[in-house]
Amino acid sequence: MRTPFRLQTVVAALGMAGAVLVSTAHAQNIKIAMVIPATGAVSQYGDMVKEGVTTAVEVANAAGGINGKKIELVAVDDACEPKQGPVAANRVINAKIGYVVGPVCSGAAIAGVPIYNSEGVVVVTPSATSPALTEGKNYQFIFRTIGRDDQQGPAAAKFIAEKVKPKKVAVLHDKQSYGQGIAASVRDDLKKAGINVALFEGINAGDSDYSAVITKLKSAGIDFVYYGGYHPEMGLLLRQSAEQGLKTRIMGPEGVGNPEVNAIAGPAVEGMLLTLPADFSANPKNAAIVKAFKDKKRDASGAFQLSAYSATQVLIDSIKAVGDNPTKVAEYLHKTSFETPIGTTAWDKKGDLKSFEFQVFQWHKDGSKTIANQ
C-alpha cells in the first residue's frame, strides 16, 4: 500500500550522528524536517517524536495536505549531541527546508537554533525544555510545544516538599544543559520550600559505575534523591542503589520516562517518580487522534508523541493560513492561538508556551505509569 508521504533512506555522509534522510519528492511538496536522535543513547525519544510527527502528517495528507499540496517529511539525525546541532541545522538549510519539528534534546537545540533563526527557518521543538534555549535570545523563528524546566522544576519540588517531605535531599545531574538545568531548578525551589538540599553534584553521563556517588549518599544520610538527566544513567542509579542497599526513592524529569529504563534498572525501577507532560491521550477530545496512532500501532501516551503531533499541526495550520513562507508562518505563530492535542497553544514573545501542565507520575516495573499520590 502506498504511503501518503515519502520518508527516504538514511545516507550516513557524516557518520551515524550526521545521517540525513534525503528527499527526492517533487518540488511542489511542502517539506518539514524532523531533527531527532535517530542514533545514540537516547534514540527512543527520537522515536517518540517521529511517531507524533508522522501521524500528524498522515492525518493532514489524508485530508488533502496543505492547500492541495502533499507534506513530505525529511528526517535529520543529530544523535542528541550538541556538536551535531549546527551540523543538522546546516543540512536542513542546504536542503532548502523552511520548517523543523525538533531538535529533541536541549543541548543539540541550543547549539543549532542560532543558525535556524538567522536563516529564517521556523523551529518548533516538542521536547527541549531548557530555559537557555530561548531566554534572552530575542529569536523570532523558535517555538516550543512543551513547558520549560522552570515550569517542570517547581512541579517536582512542590510534590517533594508536600507529599514526600524528606529530611535530607540529594540533587544529582548529568552535567549537561538539560540535566543540570532541571536539577538546578528543583534544587532552588526545594530550598525556597525549606527542604534541606544536602548535596548538589554532577555525575558523568555514559559511565557504568556510580557506586562512589551512591556510597556518598549513604554516608550523608540522604533520604530522597532527585536526578536531572536521561534514562540510561537513571536506570543505573536505581539498580546500583538497590544493590548497595540505598533505600531511597529517586525522582527524575521527563527525560527518564522511557521503557528502556526498565531494562537497565530491573525490578529497582518500581516506584520511580518522574514529572511528565500531562497524559493528553486520556482527554476524550483527543479520541480521534489517539485512534490514528493506534491504527498504526503507535502509542500516543508517551512523553513526546502528542507534543510532537501538536508541533506539526501548528506548522501545517499556519502554512494553510498564510502560505508556504517561513517568515509569515513565524509571524502567524506569534499572534495566533491553536487548539491542539495538548490544549490551547499560544506563545509569549520568546516562543515559549504561555502555559503547560506537568504532572508527577509513578513508574512501574511493567513499563506502565500512574499518577503519583505520595
Query: Same structural domain for residues 70 and 52?
Result: yes
Please report which residue ranges of 266-325 form alpha helices under DSSP H.
287-295, 305-322
Query: Same structural domain for residues 192 and 259?
Result: yes
Query: Same structural domain for residues 17 and 140?
Result: yes
Question: Measured between alpha carbons, how far is 264 from 170 in angstroms, rounded to an integer?
Answer: 22
Query: Same structural domain for residues 15 and 136?
Result: yes
Tens digits of per-residue pLDDT, 53-106?
Answer: 999 999 999 999 999 999 999 999 999 999 999 999 999 999 999 999 999 999
Q: According to the model, what pLDDT value does residue 373 have? A: 81
Q: According to the model, what pLDDT value does residue 13 have? A: 33
Question: Measured between alpha carbons, how far is 191 from 183 in angstroms, rounded to an integer?
Answer: 12
Average pLDDT, the chain: 92
Query: Same structural domain for residues 95 and 177?
Result: no
142 belongs to a structural domain? yes
Q: According to the model, what pLDDT value does residue 16 have? A: 36
Query: Same structural domain for residues 137 and 99?
Result: yes
Res. 50: pLDDT tops 80: yes
Question: Measured between alpha carbons, how far is 82 from 251 in angstroms, rounded to an integer?
Answer: 25
pTM of this structure: 0.86
366 belongs to a structural domain? no
Query: Same structural domain for residues 120 and 220?
Result: no
Structural domain span for residue 83:
10-146+280-357
Query: Same structural domain for residues 24 and 122?
Result: yes
103 preceded by a cis bond (ω within 30 of 0): yes
Question: Measured between alpha carbons, how far is 25 from 13 in angstroms, rounded to an integer?
Answer: 20
Cβ-based neighbour number of residue 31 at 10 Å: 19
Cell of 128: 527541549
Tens digits of per-residue pLDDT, 152-209?
Answer: 999 999 999 999 999 999 999 999 989 999 999 999 999 999 999 999 999 999 999 9
Tens digits of per-residue pLDDT, 204-237?
Answer: 999 999 999 999 999 999 999 999 999 999 999 9
Q: CATH code at 251?
A: 3.40.50.2300
Query: Same structural domain for residues 117 and 211?
Result: no
Query: Same structural domain for residues 81 and 131?
Result: yes
Q: What is the count of structural domains for the chain?
A: 2
Query: Same structural domain for residues 30 and 127?
Result: yes
Res. 14: pLDDT tops 80: no
Res. 337: pLDDT tops 50: yes
| pLDDT average, residue stretch 26-41 | 90
Question: Measured between alpha carbons, how far is 293 from 301 in angstroms, rounded to an integer?
Answer: 10
Q: According to the model, what pLDDT value does residue 374 have? A: 64
Q: According to the model, what pLDDT value does residue 27 have? A: 53
Q: According to the model, what pLDDT value does residue 276 have? A: 92
